[in-house]
Structures are given as C-alpha cells and as structure tokens.
Amino acid sequence: MSFFQVDPEVHCLAKYALELCLLEYSMAHLAPSLVAAAALAFSMRLLDSTNTPLRHLWTRTLEHYTSYTLTEILPVVSSVAAAVSKATNLLESTEASTAGTSAGKILDSVAKKYKGKKYMKVALIPELRTNLVDEMAQEGGYF
C-alpha cells in the first residue's frame, strides 16, 4: 500500500493557514476536514516551485484520502488565502502588535509560534507576500 507523502514545509504551512482560519468567524460553519483539505491545497500551490496549476496538484489520491474534489475545495481555498493574506498584512502593519485587542494578541501568538524553528519558520516565508496569495483569495480565481 502506498501513501501520499507531503513535504514537511507544505505540512507546516498548511497547519499555519489552518490555525489562522480558526480566527475567522466567517469560516466557523465549514467542516474542519474541508478547511484542512483547502489549507493543504493552498500550501501545495503556494510552495510549488514549478508553478503547476492546482488542478494538476490535487490528485485522485488526495481526493481519496480527503474525500474532497477540487471543485468542492476551491471556494474554501480562496477563503484560506484571504485569511492568510489578511493575517500577513496585519502582522506587517504596526496595528497587530499595538492594538492590544484580544484578536491582535492571538494573531501575534500564532505568528510567533510559526516563526519558530519547530515549524520551519513558515510565518516568515517570502511566498506569503506574493501576488499569488491575493490571486488565490479572489473567489473564482484561476490558480
């Protein structure tokens, strides 16, 4: 029996994206497994050095093990990308650290966690600041 092996950096980025999605009230109604699958797809696409479209990255094996088709996860991938983009922008502004709000503190805590060596410093990767994240955040966008 063969199993799908995911790159450790992709795995850590998916966990970071998933944790950021927990802060988004608009995503609270979604099945956790659906958000997890979308976070994985987001991470795979963002870190793919060959610029392969997501429709080629999301294989039948992934469909089998997640039980979600690409069509089912695409709208959620956009929501994941939007959450990551929003968090990245907030963290780069001075508002997140000085706002003193509980949401700002939580966001700072999540980012600090994923800036550590244990999580491969995925909160610091330059790919999070690319146009691709914003393109993926657009509902119905082709990525």
In a domain, 87, yes or no: yes
Q: What is the mean pLDDT of residues 37-63?
A: 96
pLDDT of residue 1: 43
Which ranges in 2-141 belong to alpha helices (H)? 8-21, 32-46, 54-57, 60-66, 70-92, 95-98, 102-114, 131-137
Q: Has residue 24 got a pLDDT over 70?
A: yes
pTM for this model (two decimals): 0.90
In a domain, 39, yes or no: yes
In a domain, 110, yes or no: yes
In a domain, 3, yes or no: no
In a domain, 83, yes or no: yes
How many domains does the chain divide into?
A: 1
Of 4, 126, 127, nearest to 58 by C-alpha is 4
How does the average pLDDT of the chain come out, rounded? 90
Give the CATH number of the domain where residue 77 resides: 1.10.472.10
In the chain, pLDDT over 70 holds for what percent of residues?
A: 90
In a domain, 116, yes or no: yes
pLDDT of residue 40: 98
In a domain, 1, yes or no: no
| Residue 11 CA to its chain's centroid (Å) | 10
* Alpha-carbon span 76 to 42, nearest angstrom: 9
Domain ranges, residue 54: 8-137
